[in-house]
């Protein structure tokens, strides 16, 4: 293998490892938010996370809704190395779209935020 091919192969390994770490951290954050929500009312939990922990308001809804929409799919999300924007799109997608995208992930498809858009998946959903 020439030096350029080796450098690219090494880079690929590093990028994949970083993506896996990022997904793991997002899922860990969702689990922590879920734990906090069992201790106090949702508004109080959100205020605590926003004010005390400096968690952006734009991320709070995603973490808060994770348990309701994606609980039990953590390993699939880890295996797919899902980014936060894709996770956010999945949480906000309707059930049919979310199920279609998760089914695609299960067969190894790479998913981007456009894939989690309900219009992109609509033709693939059986009627």
Write the pLDDT tens digit of every residue in 28-77: 999 999 999 999 998 999 999 999 999 999 899 999 999 889 999 999 99
Nearest Cα residue to 24 out of 70, 65, 81, 66: 81
3-state secondary structure (DSSP) of residue 70: helix
pLDDT classification of 118: cutoffs 50, 70, 90: low
Residue appearing with tokens 């949480």: 91
Across the chain, which distance is largest between two alpha carbons, in Å?
A: 59
Q: In Å, how far are 44, 74, 125 from 105, measured between CA atoms? A: 35, 12, 15
Return the SS3 of 28: helix
pLDDT in tens, 14-30: 999 999 999 999 999 99
Q: What is the pLDDT of residue 113?
A: 83
Distance CA 55, CA 71 (A): 21
């Amino acid at each position: 293998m020439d030096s350029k091919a080796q450098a690219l192969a090494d880079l690929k390994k590093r990028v994949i490892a970083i993506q896996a770490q990022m997904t793991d951290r997002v899922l860990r954050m969702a689990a922590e938010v879920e734990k906090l929500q069992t201790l106090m009312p949702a508004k109080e939990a959100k205020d605590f996370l926003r004010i005390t922990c400096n968690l952006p308001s734009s991320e709070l809804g995603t973490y808060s809704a994770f348990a309701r929409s994606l609980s039990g799919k953590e390993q699939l999300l880890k295996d797919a190395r899902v980014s936060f924007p894709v996770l956010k799109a999945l949480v906000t997608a309707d059930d049919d779209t979310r199920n279609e995208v998760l089914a695609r992930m299960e067969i190894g498809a790479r998913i981007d935020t456009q894939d989690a858009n309900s219009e992109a998946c609509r033709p693939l959903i059986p009627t």
